[in-house]
């Protein structure tokens, strides 16, 4: 039994295929086209969008071979670090067919899918966009992205049963099926265009009681003259005009009369427009399928440049993606966490010291001002004695 299990494990390992992997270990995504590659501890990072603000950037690379995801899972994974404290800019990746023209890679270049964070002002979301029959379809769910300055791992898993999963830092943040969460297909049902609400259909649950009558003493003015008011003694009719008492709210005023409501005996409930099967709907169990995968790239606008992309991986194995994250992302996350905690502690100590200094200077100033006031009082007392 053990031998069988080991054999199966080895077979699964062999079956797993990595179509693209880029960790920028001394190399750039597009030969020499990246702006800089810098060491970061034991890992390497790439400054993929340069340092010029308010600019479009595009970088892309071909896979070693074209592949189809027919009958298998595809995992897109990479790390993003908005080191500059981004206020507006993209951090998403586009995966394209093998025939994509990377010499002229831009916003209109067709792609299979677009995935990753996008931040601009209050908008902080993860895009998951699939191209289906030449049209790009945005996910209908709202997935919030990370907006701090640390490195984060974004993972998209696309399965051959038309399901998907989005992970951030290895944790699932959203999942579902393609037909439900995207409008790739027409609705299964539509409102029956031939159905109309019957003319005698009564949706009024309550109606006026025709037997109810308005009381004879109901009509009263809303405001009346104040009987207790008196004309001021200095009122001059010739100069001020004829005096009239001020108006006050009438305590007898009851408002507009309305007959009481009773149950409507003809009430049929709210009419519901019946649905019918949509003749334009055809199920598609291959929404996930792209016959050609062969390129990947970043096509971004950044108002404030400085985003770092790394650890780009395209594979058909979830386990491979996990192992890659454990090797590349987890050590970096722990190192960044320790450095941030140390930096936060140092900043807190600095602020505490500055606040202490400010209070000491304030107390010193008050003390000096008091001494000056005491000296002035002493001089005045001596002057008075003379």
Reported as a single tens digit per residue, the pLDDT across 203-223 is 999 999 999 999 989 999 999
**288 assigned binding-site residue:** no
User: Is residue 315 within a helix (H) or strand (E), and if so which, with residue range?
Assistant: strand 308-315
**322 assigned binding-site residue:** no
- In this prediction, residue 16 carries a pLDDT of 85
Most confident of the ranges 22-26, 84-88, 95-99:
95-99
Rounded distance between C-alpha atoms, residue 65 and residue 43, angstroms: 27
137-160 residue pLDDT tens: 999 999 999 999 999 999 999 999
Q: What is the pTM of this model?
A: 0.72
Q: Name the percent of the chain lying above pLDDT 70.
A: 87
Burial of 272 (0-12, 13-18, 19+ CB in 10 A): exposed
β-bridge partners, 136: 131
Q: Please give the average per-residue pLDDT across 153-181, as a whole number.
A: 98
- In this prediction, residue 312 carries a pLDDT of 95
Query: 292 vs 335, which has greater pLDDT?
Result: 292
3-state secondary structure of 133: coil
Confidence category of residue 14, pLDDT binned at 50, 70, 90: low
Q: Is the pLDDT of residue 325 over 60?
A: yes
**212 assigned binding-site residue:** no
CATH for 17-182+289-342? Answer: 2.60.120.200
Query: 232 vs 33, which has greater pLDDT?
Result: 232
Helix/strand/coil percentages in the chain, nearest 5: 25, 30, 45
Most confident of the ranges 48-62, 83-97, 182-196, 301-315:
182-196
Q: Please give the average per-residue pLDDT across 280-309, as a whole number.
A: 93
- In this prediction, residue 386 carries a pLDDT of 60
**192 assigned binding-site residue:** no
Q: Is the pLDDT of residue 45 over 90?
A: no
**64 assigned binding-site residue:** no
- In this prediction, residue 346 carries a pLDDT of 84
Long-range pairs for 335-338: beta carbons < 8 A, 24 or more residues apart: 335/41, 336/150, 336/151, 337/150
Most confident of the ranges 38-47, 80-89, 207-216, 300-309:
207-216
Residue 241: how many other CB atoms lie within 10 Å: 9
- In this prediction, residue 38 carries a pLDDT of 32
Rg, the chain, Cα only:
37
- In this prediction, residue 343 carries a pLDDT of 80
């Amino acid at each position: 039994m053990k031998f069988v299990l080991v054999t199966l494990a080895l077979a699964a390992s062999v079956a797993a295929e990595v179509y693209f992997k880029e960790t920028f270990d001394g190399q750039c995504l597009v030969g020499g086209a990246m702006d800089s590659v810098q060491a970061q501890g034991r890992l390497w990072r790439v400054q993929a969008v340069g340092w010029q603000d308010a600019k479009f950037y595009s970088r892309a690379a071909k896979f070693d071979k074209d592949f189809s995801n027919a009958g298998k899972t595809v995992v897109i994974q990479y790390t993003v670090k908005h080191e500059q404290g981004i206020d507006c800019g993209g951090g998403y990746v586009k995966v394209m067919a093998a025939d994509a023209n990377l010499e002229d890679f831009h916003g209109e270049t067709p792609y299979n899918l677009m995935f990753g964070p996008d931040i601009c002002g209050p908008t902080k979301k993860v895009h998951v966009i699939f191209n289906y029959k030449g049209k790009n379809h945005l996910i209908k769910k709202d997935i919030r992205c990370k907006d701090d300055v640390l490195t984060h791992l974004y993972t998209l898993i696309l399965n051959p049963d038309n399901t998907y999963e989005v992970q951030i830092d290895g944790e699932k943040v959203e999942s579902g099926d393609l037909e439900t969460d995207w409008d790739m297909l027409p609705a299964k049902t539509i409102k029956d265009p031939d159905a109309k609400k019957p003319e005698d259909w009564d949706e009024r649950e309550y109606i006026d009681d025709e037997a109810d009558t308005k009381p004879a003493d109901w009509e009263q003015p809303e405001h009346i003259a104040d009987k207790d008011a008196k004309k001021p003694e200095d009122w001059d009719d010739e100069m001020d005009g004829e005096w009239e008492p001020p108006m006050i709210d009438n305590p007898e005023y009851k408002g507009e009369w309305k007959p009481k409501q009773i149950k409507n005996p003809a009430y049929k409930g709210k009419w519901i427009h019946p649905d019918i099967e949509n003749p334009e709907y055809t199920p598609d169990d291959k929404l996930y399928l792209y016959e050609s995968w062969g390129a990947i790239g970043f096509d971004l606008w950044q108002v404030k440049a400085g985003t770092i992309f790394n650890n780009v991986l395209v594979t058909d194995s979830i386990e491979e993606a996990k192992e890659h994250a454990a090797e590349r992302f987890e050590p970096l996350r722990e190192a960044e966490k320790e450095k941030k905690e140390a930096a936060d502690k140092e900043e807190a100590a600095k602020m505490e010291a500055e606040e202490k200094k400010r209070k000491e200077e304030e107390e010193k100033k008050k003390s000096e001002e008091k001494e000056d006031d005491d000296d002035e009082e002493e001089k005045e007392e001596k002057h008075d004695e003379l």
